[in-house]
Amino acid sequence: MTDIIIFVVWLTIGFIVYRLISKKSVQTKSSNYKIYKSSPLFRSDYYSINQTVNRELYRPVAEWSGRLILQVENQNKRFVEFEVQNAPDSYVHLLGKVVKLKWSSDSKLQ
């Protein structure tokens, strides 16, 4: 009977040691946001707008269009940056520029 208990104890210790040695370290997966931020493809300076499109061939999807530029983490700004890619004729001077957008409840702006 003692031999069986000793065998079971050694078997248990062997199993625990095996699990500790063979267990692969758990790696934390990067978040999608961290992957996004590390890629140069998603940085505003990677696709700078130093060109103009032929207005006869290009049909914009909206009167105003462009891209939002994400804020740096841990900044409590009350606006987002927007790079203007298309604007009405009276605002052509804003094409290619980065402007600040913020919420407003002003009825004139709505």
Residues 6+ apart with CB under 8 A from 99: 81, 82, 84
The DSSP call for residue 40 is G
Q: Which amino acid is at 94?
A: L
The whole-number pLDDT of residue 34 equals 79
| Sequential pLDDT tens for the chain (110 residues) | 677 788 778 888 888 877 777 665 555 567 777 777 788 777 766 766 566 667 778 777 888 888 888 777 656 777 888 988 888 889 989 988 899 988 888 888 76
pTM over 0.75: no
Question: How do the domains of the chain map onto residue ranges?
Answer: 2-101
